[in-house]
Structure 1
Amino acid sequence: MNIQDIPYIIYAEETPNPSSVKFVANKLLLVSGASAEYLSPSETIDAPIAQKLFQFPFVKRVFIQSNYITITKQDALEWEEIRDELRVFITEYLNKGNSIINKLPEQKVAKDSSFKETVSINTQHTAPGNDVENKIIEVLEQYIRPAVEQDGGLITFKELKDGVVTVQMRGSCSGCPSSTMTLKAGIEALLKRLLPDDVKEVVSEAV
């Protein structure tokens, strides 16, 4: 059977952010290395599925990557009230053959090792500038990014300046109460241990 003939199956997965749930598909939604985040309906002109999701009044943020959609809700409702409704909607939407994203948004994207893979998919990466930055990116890609993506988020390196590493966090990581702890106890501690002469602090920049 051709993979295109296999129907979409969607299941919901909790994330460390109580406001976000990861809706995982059994097939890719975007090509490898691509991602898209939408913070308001006005940004979704080229993303039909995000446009439809924002028609639910409780949807606050939509992040799409690989085989999942991370949805961040408004605080007024609990996930128990809306999770199944969203899961059914996404499943039916995809199985009707509707478009997911027609064109990726032009975002302020940090630099990472996927630069060569994603530059042709409409992103604005800047190639890594030096050996220290390359090492930081390598550490993020190898040790941090897989775990963050597992939780429905994305972390990318932006810059190193005067010993301060700036990263950008999207999806479930954005606004997550535990993200500061993750940043300091996990990412900062690891980079300071591996690059003690180059890294003094790690901060997150809002996207």
Structure 2
Amino acid sequence: MDVKMMIQPTPNPYAKKIICNLDVKTTGKITLSTPEECAHIPLAKALFEIRGVTQVHFFENAITLTQDGSVSWDVILESARKLIKALLPEHNPDFQSPEEKRREQLSPELSKIENILDRTIRPALQGDGGDLEILKLEGHYLTIRYEGACGTCPSSVTGTLAAIQSILREEFDPHIEIIPLQETVEQ
């Protein structure tokens, strides 16, 4: 099968979204931050071998690559296109991610938060090549981690964080405080 791709910028200068004509993840999403995490996913493992790539995010028919700034996007995207063209036709998009397994075991409170975020916040984040992961809820404190393009994006700790907190205060708990774990990119 002929693989077609379209590259989209994201709000994060260190991340690019590659939209494909084939699925990379049929259900759910996955963010991989080390080559060791993707030993069971040959496409992700190969993308991590591109110099400068620090994170690979799969969602539906999109791959978001995050880089450390040490290599030009032209070089990274040329290598990525070749790998995707070669490996995507044999890639299995039906693999289950740890996130999907985790969601099956959530408390009612965390399940409600996930559903609110799925409906309100995640579509915009995923449209920009990112997402977020709920890490824990302790009292009124919700710890999250941004994924994909959102992981190192400056706006994730300002406008996006304020939007998440506002929606969750309105729909879940008026006293909730969001604590983001933020990745950094060395410049």
Bin the TM-score by the shorter chain. 0.7 to 0.9
Counterpart in the other structure of 1:66: 60
1:1-207 correspondence to structure 2 within 5 Å: 7-33=2-28, 35-94=29-88, 97-100=89-92, 104=96, 106=98, 109=99, 118=100, 123-125=101-103, 126-130=105-109, 133-195=110-172, 197-199=174-176, 201-205=177-181
The one-letter amino acid of 2:167's match is L
How far does the alpha carbon of each residue in 1:149-187 deviate from its partner, in whole angstroms, 9 at most, with x for none? Answer: 111112233433221222232111112211101343211
Q: Give the structure-2-normalised TM-score.
A: 0.81
State whether residues 116 and 168 of structure 2, in contact with CA within 8 Å, keep that contact through their aligned partners in structure 1: yes
- SS in structure 2 at match of 1:127: coil
State whether residues 24 and 60 of structure 2, in contact with CA within 8 Å, keep that contact through their aligned partners in structure 1: yes
- Provide the C-alpha distance between the structure 2 equivalents of 1:197 and 1:68, rounded to a whole number of angstroms: 35
Residues matched between the structures, number: 182
Which of the pair is proportionally richer in helix?
2
How far does the alpha carbon of each residue in 1:36-71 deviate from its partner, in whole angstroms, 9 at most, with x for none? Answer: 222222222111111211221121111112111111
State whether residues 183 and 202 of structure 1, in contact with CA within 8 Å, keep that contact through their aligned partners in structure 2: no
Counterpart in the other structure of 1:115: none
- Provide the C-alpha distance between the structure 2 equivalents of 1:105 and 1:195, rounded to a whole number of angstroms: 27
State whether residues 63 and 171 of structure 1, in contact with CA within 8 Å, keep that contact through their aligned partners in structure 2: yes
State whether residues 48 and 100 of structure 1, in contact with CA within 8 Å, keep that contact through their aligned partners in structure 2: no
Supply the RMSD in Å over aligned alpha carbons. 2.6
How far does the alpha carbon of each residue in 1:72-103 deviate from its partner, in whole angstroms, 9 at most, with x for none? Answer: 11211232443344234323432xx3335685
Q: Percent identity?
A: 25
- Provide the C-alpha distance between the structure 1 equivalents of 2:76 and 2:138, rounded to a whole number of angstroms: 43
Which of the pair is proportionally richer in strand?
2
Give unpaired runs (5+ residues) of structure 1: 110-117
Q: Give the structure-1-normalised TM-score.
A: 0.75
State whether residues 156 and 168 of structure 1, in contact with CA within 8 Å, keep that contact through their aligned partners in structure 2: yes
The one-letter amino acid of 2:16's match is V
